[in-house]
Structure 1
Amino acid sequence: MWQEILSTLFPNRCIGCETIIPSSQQYLCEICKANLPFTYIPFNDTNIIHNQINNSVKIKFASSLLFFSKENVTRQLIHHLKYKNKPEIGSWLAEIWFMQNEGNPYLKDIKTIIPVPIHPKRYKKRSYNQIMLCCQKLATLLHCNLDEHLLQRVSHTESQTQSSKEKRLKKMKNAFKRNSKSSDHYLLVDDVLTTGATLIACTQELIKTKNSQVSIFTLAATI
């Protein structure tokens, strides 16, 4: 009874268009889900995502699930993921990406999942790292380790959405610290790839240890 009353007062709505959807339906109505702007960029070393990062620091493989723009539904999904306490969206999208790449032999090379860390000040404000549930899901699906403490964010920067790549790279210099000298093939995971400055800074820190390799996955990319 109470569940019915709550459903009436606070109906489950599509993140994309605000249409009321069944409580069993995840995040989007069928129309918005059908219009998700997938990149269909496979996890490999011959795509635009890989090239964007690899031009600055050497990585193994890379992929992004969705195109991100101010006009598409990806923007709303990422906004809810980061600011509306909906980190489970990351888990849902991680599963979609895995299904698209299931059977990809390069995924077998991944040994440890690494989330891009957030600074303690931001964690205190938000109370969660928005990409953590995505990483947990990937670790389960790929049968590999998850290490959320290997990388640490040691400098706090304000939003850099209006900054150029050069300014972002400068601000990101020495922003992360490695807490272990272990070597592995890491899958570094973040929500959105824009200039790539954050991912580049993380990768530079990770490969300071000999024999460490880094691959990249982001839920979305502004390409």
Structure 2
Amino acid sequence: MILDLFFPNRCLGCNRIIEGNLLVCTLCFEQIHFTHHRYFENSYLKEKCKLLFPIEHCFSLMQFEKESLSRKIIHELKYKSREKTGKILAEWTTEKLDFKDEKPDLFVTVPLHSKKLKERGYNQLHVFTETLSEFYKIPFDHHLIKRNHYSKAQALKDKKHRLETENTFSMTTNISGKHILLIDDVFTTGNTLATIAWEILKSGNNKVSVLVMAIDI
């Protein structure tokens, strides 16, 4: 395409020109710190979650280290209007995540407030989740959880304000007897996921697992 000639796709790591459907070149891909977590095994992420709410299983694709390539990839997705990044991250996830014979019943995404959704133009989790849904043949619901208050991004908050999540979320529909996989971009303190998890658990005889693109360690 003409645009590709004037604005070629470049590797987020080294700025080399790469194919349009890639995020990084082969060399930089090797520099991404994947977690190598197993969904059914104990991990740092699972131990953190267990301190906050009853959890079944969990998975994190990458480590979210300071000045890392994984951090740059997530920021491109969230703040640089590169929504297609979600599809690529989902494809990387499918290569590493195996639900075996214990698939969740439903994928549920952490919502944005309607004001923030309008500002950003998209929820960074939607393409990611929809790609996973198609691959695993598991339905998704972007509207089961409602964010009640507008707030600035977690990354821009200090630690005190990150803990202020009471009444931030509510259920739009009561569900019961379901295994819900909560999906978010980055696990930091875990308070956002915990708040949502408790809403789901209070709604009925449900189970909660977690999937994040990256964990801040």
Length-normalised TM-score, structure 1: 0.90
Separation (CA, whole Å) in 2 of partners of 1:117 and 1:222: 20
1:117 pairs with 2:114: no
Separation (CA, whole Å) in 2 of partners of 1:85 and 1:66: 21
Q: CA-to-partner distance for each residue in 1:90-113, whole Å, 9 max, x for gaps?
A: 2221222222123x426x330100
Separation (CA, whole Å) in 2 of partners of 1:20 and 1:64: 29
Q: Say if 1:44 and 1:50, in contact at 8 Å, map to a contact too.
A: no
Q: CA-to-partner distance for each residue in 1:161-207, whole Å, 9 max, x for gaps?
A: 3422x6423x2111001011112111100111111111111111111
Letter of the 2:165 counterpart? M
Pick aligned residue for 1:69 from 65, 75, 92? 65
Separation (CA, whole Å) in 1 of partners of 2:14 and 2:140: 34
Letter of the 2:124 counterpart? Q
Q: CA-to-partner distance for each residue in 1:50-84, whole Å, 9 max, x for gaps?
A: 11011111111111000112221111111110011
Q: What is residue 131 of structure 1 aligned with on the other side?
A: 125
Gapped runs of 5+ residues in structure 2?
Answer: none
1:105 pairs with 2:100: yes
1:19 pairs with 2:16: yes
Question: Displacement of 1:45 after TM fit?
Answer: 5.0
| Identity over aligned pairs, percent | 33
Separation (CA, whole Å) in 2 of partners of 1:127 and 1:200: 26
Separation (CA, whole Å) in 2 of partners of 1:98 and 1:61: 16
Q: What is residue 181 of structure 1 aligned with on the other side?
A: 174
Pick aligned residue for 1:195 from 173, 182, 189? 189
Separation (CA, whole Å) in 2 of partners of 1:140 and 1:55: 32
Aligned length: 215
Separation (CA, whole Å) in 2 of partners of 1:32 and 1:100: 19
1:30 pairs with 2:23: no
Q: Match of 1:188, SS?
A: strand
Q: Match of 1:109, SS?
A: coil
Question: Displacement of 1:6 after TM fit?
Answer: 3.0
Q: Match of 2:37, SS?
A: coil
Pick aligned residue for 1:49 from 45, 50, 74? 45
Letter of the 1:168 counterpart? R
Q: What is residue 163 of structure 1 aligned with on the other side?
A: 158
Q: Say if 2:59 and 2:97, in contact at 8 Å, map to a contact too.
A: no
1:205 pairs with 2:165: no
Q: What value does the CA root-mean-square deviation take over the aligned residues?
A: 1.6
